[in-house]
A = this chain, B = another copy of it.
Amino acid sequence: MGNKEGKIKTIAGGICAVPGFQAWGGSCGIRQNKDKKDLALIYSETDCEAAAVYTKNEVKAAPIYVTKEHLENGKARAVVVNSGNANACAPMGKENAQKECAALANALNISAEDVIVASTGIIGVALPVECIVNAIPQAVTELSAANDTAAAEAILTTDTCIKQKAVQIDLDGTTVTIGAMAKGSGMIHPNMGTMLGFVGTDAVIDSALLQELLKGCIARSFNRISVDGDTSTNDMVCVLANGKAGGAAIKAGTESCELFREALQEVCVDLAKKIAGDGEGAGRLVTCTMVNAQTEEIAETLAKSVISSSLVKAAMFGKDANWGRVLCAMGYAGTVLKPELADVYFKSKKGSVKVCENGEGLLFDEELASAVLGEEQVEIFVDLKDGTASASAWGCDLTYDYVKINGDYRS
């Protein structure tokens, strides 16, 4: 990791940090509160290779079906996303999603099949599609490489902050940029509110390889902040590659491909951590790391079980070094576990406290533990002493605000 990390440079901005991408974000009237943006557009000046990963929920929103159809040929050029209404389990869902694509295609003079559509917000209420259709012509005239932050803001729902990331790598002398925006709030975990991610790159890469790389990166990022299958009706992450960087096309199995994959994964992990850590007030990012497992899959299953446990999450809120709940959550994860070998630590920039050794509690400095757990980013670190594989998963604490936000989401 260390060597490769040095090769991936974080740069300012989001998707518009990538040459050839423009964006727009504003209010079109879906939300009653006009101060909250509700419509975002992303546009590539040239054709793109495209790939996407979708929710596994059996109940899928209409935009998911329409986007899947449009990406069958692996090509796309624009994205329309609204917040405030999920267009899920709603009348005229597919027709309305298609109307959005047609309106944007018409305004941009491209094919409707080259438009990706996504929605997030309330389920079961008809999408006021005319708001979107009416806003698009003017919005398209305002597309600009300076507007990715406005777009990143427009896709938010209960999120408290925008989520963007951009990195650059050097592939055999060619500078390649990856930029992205995402939405999703860790407060809503474990029954995820919608997660959306939109990634752009100027790499030269075909859609089949892009799809394969994206799938792997999602598995180690967005899928590690939720429990398996526990996804909303609207979840989607897509990536558009416009090839503007030039140079040789990225081929599977090469060093360039591995570096590109690492960079894409870094972008996805960064956004996933921003989602996991996004919560009002006392919310903190909780990383659970399992080391020395028999396999990465076992490590991942255990880490996800811990960050999904309501009891662990509530303990993190209370700055309570309650490692018994950590072991308990590992115990019901449904995978290989030798509790009698496990050591548990709580870590943050304030220090590290070992609280459990070989499955049994240690006497530890409660004051230090509370200080460690008082930080905004804390880590539950478990040494399984049963192999050499490791994995991290990310979540947040469970706060009063979670209940408040989700007790009346519709209003």
Contacts and interface: CB of A to CB of B under 8 A. Distances in A.
A398 B409 contact: no
A56 interface: yes
Task: Please classify the interface of chain A as helix (H, G, I), strand (E, B), loop, or mixed, using the class held by over half of its residues.
Answer: loop
Interface residues of A, number: 64
B328 A232 contact: yes
Copies in the complex: 2
A124 interface: yes
A388 interface: no
Nearest to A323: B124
Q: In the complex, which of the residues A314, A330, A332, A361 has the most CB atoms of chain B within 10 Å of its own CB atom?
A: A332
B408 A398 contact: no
A317 B403 contact: yes
A57 interface: yes
A331 B406 contact: no
Contact of A331 (B233, B407, B411): B233
A200 to B, nearest CB: 29
A258 to B, nearest CB: 33
B124 A315 contact: no
A360 B359 CA distance: 49
B191 A310 contact: yes
B58 A317 contact: no
Contacts of A65: none
Q: Across the A-B interface, give the 9 residue pairs with the lowest CB-CB distance, nearest first.
A: A123-B324, A318-B407, A124-B361, A59-B331, A314-B406, A57-B331, A318-B408, A58-B331, A124-B324
